[in-house]
Amino acid sequence: MNYFSLAAALILPWITGIFTLASLQRSNSKNNHSILAGQIGYGFFIGYLILYGLIRLSFNLTGNLELKWVMGALVSLSLLALLVIRYRRKGHFSYPTLTNTSNPSVWEKVAFTTLIILTATHLVFNLLETIWTPLLPWDAFSAWTHVAKVWFYTGELTDFVPAAQWLAQPDSPAYTSHAYNYPIFSSLMQLWTAVGLGSWSETLINLPQLLCGLAIGMALFSECRQQGASRLISLSVCYLFLSIPLINTHLSLGGYADIWLAGFTGLGFVKLITGLKEQQPIAITGGLLLIATATLIKNEGLIWFLLALLTTAIFQLSSRQLLTTLALTSAAILACLLLETTSLELGTLGRVGYFEGKIFAPNMPGLTFQYHNVWPAYFKNFFLMGSWNLLWLLVFTSLVTALIPPYTPTKKLVTTFVLIFLAGQFFIFFLTDQARWAEKYTALNRLPLHFSPALIYACFLLWHDQLKLKTEKQATSNELHNS
């Protein structure tokens, strides 16, 4: 086992991502720690996305995963990004002004230190469990990690096919698994880690997932600071995410792809929400792109991307435009029904639409359209059990608060996002046969996990906005009174 090579394999993509992101941003300040935290957080996902591309390229060009070639490419990209950063620093750009840089009180310092200790405690727990406990969860050893292990030992990106095809082609080198059509990002990251280590490890292959959680925390910290929150409040948001029991479990017992989706989808929505709030097209585009890449990780990534488009459309369009869009969509659906054409065959992507009582989406099996009463399962899991701490109390209280007038753009944004998220969950688990996974308490918790960073961030935005508004109103009132 080569631990130095392992460390390089884990950190190099991250560094490449940080430098790439920094080279794309308009300004860089050595003194702006919050922006740096954001570059570290988001840079992790950009870097590992680049890594994914390089690994696929390596297999396509050479038939193998060439560690040195990929590492060399990462180093080259990092150096190129550094050159761009250096070139842009010679030009004119502005250092962003960070609000709320007042000296914290003693109590704030105590609270900040306490939260640092608590957050670190959670991460240390996650790290030790990752190192000690061999691969445990079901879908890890039966699907995701099994695929990575086969690729590691065969040295090739061997195909996985359905069982019927495996039986019909005895001379084919293809393998079979119920996960034959799963996206391969998560498995490739485990493969990469094993190749970096130089041997297969039941524990260390899950280190990237631990880093994923850390990166999400840093990105959340950065986003909150950019919104003007104090270091204490920003760290609180980071701590809220990293202390969720289910998040802790996914960081400790690696092998599932859900924590990756919490990064790509969750942070994608965070960036999207920020972009919509600040009306920044670049942030909106960045968020949508990040969410779009989630399709490389799990099949439901496509549905999350559609929800992101819906969120953007509802928030950006005026009421008139929304009504027009709704009318046109209704007309299109009516036309399909009249023409008796409610689905399309898209070749390798499969069927899309409604066909023989089932709803079809690209690369996904048909879902039987039928109502299931899974309210008891939802209520129990969200409010009575130990998976989420008090997250759902926070979300629903925030939603109720957002629905109380006066309505601000932030309230509209938070309401839109949360309601669309809930609508997505309702559609999947109440209206289709996926309800069985809710009744078994499995996907019912793991799918909302993908949105958890954005849900926490949305709640933060709402309360931060409310507190800011009241403080500003009070200040204005005092000024008027004094004058």
Partner 1 sequence: MKPVAIRVINLLLALIIGALLSLEVVTAYLESSINEKTEIKPLHFTEDNLKFLLNQGEVKNNSFSVHAFTNGLAVISSGQINLSAKNYPFLKYSLNSNSTVQPTFFARTAGNPNTLMRAALPDNRAGIIDLGTQPQWAGQIIEVGFLFEGKQGDSFELKLASLEKASLKNHWRLLINQWLKFEPWSQYSINFSWGGAKYQATPLPLVVTIWIVFSTLTFVFLNKLSSQPWHQNRPAILIIFACGWLLLDARWLFNATTQMNASQQTYAGLNETQKLAKGLDAHIFTGMQKLKQTVLPQTPVKIILLSDPETQLYYALRARYHLAPHNVYSTHQLPAKKQLHTGQYILVIGELAGFSYNRFRSEITWKSNTRIQATRVHRGDYGQLFLLQ
Residues that bind partner 1 (CB under 8 A): 118, 121-122, 125, 128-129, 132-142, 145-146, 149-150, 152-154, 163, 166-168, 170, 173, 175-176, 200-203, 236, 240, 243, 245-246, 248-250, 253, 256, 381, 383-387, 389-390, 393-394, 440-446, 463, 466-467, 470-471, 473-474
Nearest to 441 by CA among 371, 386, 362, 365: 386
Task: Identify which of residues 86 and 440 has a Cβ nearer to partner 1 in the complex.
Answer: 440
Residue 459 CB, nearest approach to partner 1 (Å) = 10
Task: Identify which of residues 132 and 371 has a Cβ nearer to partner 1 in the complex.
Answer: 132
User: Listing from the earlier edge strand, what are the strands of the sheet with 358-360?
Assistant: 343-345, 351-355, 358-360, 367-368
Identity of the amino acid at 413: L
Residue 458 CB, nearest approach to partner 1 (Å) = 15
Query: For residue 142, how many C-alpha atoms fall within 13 Å in the half-sphere facing its CB?
Result: 5
Q: What is the CA radius of gyration of the chain?
A: 24
Residue 450 CB, nearest approach to partner 1 (Å) = 14
- Tokens in use for 424? 């997505």
Task: Identify which of residues 113 and 154 has a Cβ nearer to partner 1 in the complex.
Answer: 154
Task: Identify which of residues 387 and 452 has a Cβ nearer to partner 1 in the complex.
Answer: 387
> How far is Cα 402 from Cα 460, in angstroms, rounded to an integer?
12
Task: Identify which of residues 117 and 331 has a Cβ nearer to partner 1 in the complex.
Answer: 117
The dihedral over CA atoms of 65, 70, 72, 77, expressed in degrees to the nearest 10, equals 170
Residue 331 CB, nearest approach to partner 1 (Å) = 42
Residue 30 CB, nearest approach to partner 1 (Å) = 33
Residue 74 CB, nearest approach to partner 1 (Å) = 27
Residue 27 CB, nearest approach to partner 1 (Å) = 32
Strand partners, 354: 359
Task: Identify which of residues 16 and 445 has a Cβ nearer to partner 1 in the complex.
Answer: 445
Question: b/e for 228-263, b at 16 or more Cβ within 10 A?
Answer: ebbbbbbbbbbbbbbbbebbbbbbbbbbbbbbbbbb
Residue 96 CB, nearest approach to partner 1 (Å) = 27
- Break the chain down into helix, strand, coil percent, rounded to 5: 70, 5, 25
Identity of the amino acid at 50: I
- Phi, psi (degrees; rounded to nearest 5) at 244: -65, 125
The dihedral over CA atoms of 115, 244, 194, 186, expressed in degrees to the nearest 10, equals -130
> How far is Cα 45 from Cα 71, in angstroms, rounded to an integer?
17
- Tokens in use for 325? 């869009």
Task: Identify which of residues 28 and 176 has a Cβ nearer to partner 1 in the complex.
Answer: 176
Residue 178 CB, nearest approach to partner 1 (Å) = 9
Per the CB < 8 A criterion, the answer to whether 424 and 454 are in contact is no
Task: Identify which of residues 119 and 432 has a Cβ nearer to partner 1 in the complex.
Answer: 119
Task: Identify which of residues 62 and 121 has a Cβ nearer to partner 1 in the complex.
Answer: 121
> How far is Cα 42 from Cα 221, in angstroms, rounded to an integer?
11
